[in-house]
A and B are shown apart, each in its own frame.
Chain A
Amino acid sequence: MKVLVAVKRVIDFNVKPRVKMDGSGVDLMNVKMSMNPFDEIAVEEAIRLKEKGQATEIVAVSIGPAKAQETLRTSLAMGADRAILVQTDEEVEPLAVAKILAKIAEEEQPGMIILGKQAIDDDNNATGQMLAALLGWPQGTFASKVEPANDNVTVTREVDGGLETVRLKLPAVVTTDLRLNEPRYASLPNIMKAKSKPLATKSPGDYGVDVARRLETVKVTEPAKRQAGIKVGSVDELVERLHGLGIAK
């Protein structure tokens, strides 16, 4: 079974995003960029499936600027076999990303597509579900366990009330949650090896997908700040405060 993984280049999760003064967005100049953490988990899961003999080939796809090549090289260094960059300087929304991925899926015929459940920049949590809809495939979102067997995959999902398990017919779309696995670091020899792995560069036009935005960003602002309050010196004082709030019996 071939596995497709989608990866996005985003602001590094350790960097505190700063809103631009003119309100046009978040300042990404000279900011460390990395692979979206949920996508790292997606790459790791694909590699584990390959190590268990359940996946045969891993194709990593990214849609983004030329620099997204670095993100793809990271996935190749982790263990993906080849990569496709759909290069564009436009900010591509989940719907258009899903349309491009659907076209790639038609070409590549993977048995499973694994994506992060959301990107930590636009926080949409939509691409995987949209992709599944466009392909008419089942979806296992927010996965904490992925177990393929024969022509189906059993996915345990992190839902509000606990853990839900569903069985999906392959091919299927899976989106990753935090506790699915802990991604590996690429070793130096593997980073070197990744440089010679194949990376094809395409454009959205190659797939006939219009990436014009449907959502116009009117402005971006900082959230309202909370003010730090007071410190109390003892448990007794805290108890008094709790009584004051009317929550302690």
Chain B
Amino acid sequence: MSVLVLVEHDGKSVKDATLATVTAASKLGEVHALVAGNDIDAVAQDATKIAGVAKVYVASSPALEHQLAEAIAPVAAKMMESHDAFVAPASTTGKNIAPRVAALLDVMQISDILSVEGPDTFTRPIYAGNAIATVKSKDAKKVITVRTTAFEKAAADGGSASIEQVDAGRDPGTSSFVSLEASESERPELTSAKVIVSGGRAFGSSEQFHSLLDPLADKLGAAVGASRAAVDAGYAPNDYQVGQTGKIVAPQVYVAIGISGAIQHLAGMKDSKTIIAINKDEEAPIFQVADIGLVGDLFKIVPELTEKL
């Protein structure tokens, strides 16, 4: 079986989500990587080095620069004539593109897989992770998105794939990129951070959220996350949100502060290796999943903790 993996990148380098996706794809067959974008030689070179990638296909054109689904999906669908499966990370990029590819191929997508049980059998979370379904695909070709925290990352070095340029299609002309308001941060990215400190609505305001959490995160070299309640309240930007409908994370250590532990939040972080919870309510559900808990007032605890670290 030959598998086409959509490489997630920012125009300069391959993103980590790609590496876990390659691991998942390699359980199905020979992995070929598709790098789509504009002027992306550096990304393509990166992709050739990923362990387990046999071939890198490069589709380069101005229309693909911002990786809009309308332009990429037909390119990927065309390449699926010679592949058996299309595998993308379940990132916002992958989730935007993969179903469009699936529909063009008349295939039902298998979303957000947690494991590969066989050539056509996979597990995936349903009901916000409250249940795990084992599903078997009857489609001849598979279209799959991968929950990247569920798979080890393939080594970014060691591979020596060949590069082949492919037809970059044409600009469908129905959509155009306007702007990207990127969250600027010196801190590690949430989905690849080893340590995450995450805040909830208990912080009370955006000022307190940042003035308390940022110094702690700096001390720990951690990324900062937030519960949906904190994001909805405007304490943190949307891309901080950890949870079923936000980011799914699995760091070495996850520190949940002032987060009660709603199902939807737990679904996004319960695969973290060690969970630490700080909450003033000792009955808060977060303590049922926490390895280490501390009951108390975060406004006292967080500054003290930051100082003593």
Contacts and interface: CB of A to CB of B under 8 A. Distances in A.
A26 B278 CA distance: 33
A95 interface: yes
A159 B69 CA distance: 13
Given A93-B108, A123-B128, A238-B276, A16 B263 contact: yes
| 8 pairs of A and B residues whose beta carbons are closest in the complex | A229-B291, A129-B99, A214-B108, A133-B103, A130-B103, A126-B99, A138-B175, A138-B174
B136 A130 contact: no
Nearest to A141: B96
Interface string B64-79: 0000111001000000
Contacts of B245: 117-118, 177-178
Given A26-B131, A130-B99, A159-B92, A231 B287 contact: yes
B110 A215 contact: yes
Contact of B180 (A162, A167, A219, A231): A162
Contacts of B134: 217-221
A134 B103 contact: yes
Contacts of A161: 10, 180, 182-183, 239
Contact of A242 (B135, B177, B180, B309): B309
A17 B135 contact: no
Consensus secondary structure, chain A interface: mixed
Contact of B294 (A158, A165, A177, A238): A238
A160 B103 contact: no
Given A123-B111, A219-B134, A166 B176 contact: yes
B186 interface: no
B288 interface: yes
A228 B293 CA distance: 9
Contacts of A144: 238
B267 to A, nearest CB: 9
17 contacts: A123-B126, A123-B244, A129-B98, A129-B103, A142-B96, A160-B92, A160-B247, A163-B238, A164-B177, A165-B181, A179-B232, A213-B138, A217-B134, A218-B135, A230-B291, A242-B276, A242-B309
A122 interface: yes
Interface residues of A, number: 81
A201 B39 CA distance: 51
Interface residues of B, number: 91
Give chain B's interface secondary structure class.
mixed
A214 B274 CA distance: 38
B232 A178 contact: yes
A191 interface: no
Interface of B: 10, 68-70, 73, 91-93, 95-104, 106-112, 121, 124-139, 172-183, 191, 194-195, 219-220, 228, 231-232, 237-239, 244-245, 247, 252-253, 263, 270, 274-276, 278, 282, 287-295, 301, 304-305, 308-309
Contact of A163 (B173, B177, B181): B181
Interface of A: 11, 16-17, 19, 26, 93-95, 98, 117-118, 120-134, 136-139, 141-142, 144, 154, 157-169, 172, 177-179, 213-223, 226, 228-239, 241-242, 245, 247-249
Nearest to A123: B126
Contacts of B103: 95, 98, 129-131, 133-134
A115 to B, nearest CB: 12
A133 B73 contact: yes
B109 A218 contact: no
Nearest to B287: A228
Contact of A223 (B97, B101, B130, B228): B130
Contact of B93 (A16, A159, A163): A159
B253 A215 contact: no
A12 to B, nearest CB: 12
A166 B177 contact: yes
Contacts of B309: 239, 242, 248-249
Nearest to B255: A242
A11 B127 contact: yes
B111 A220 contact: no
B108 A95 contact: yes
A172 B162 CA distance: 38
B238 A123 contact: no
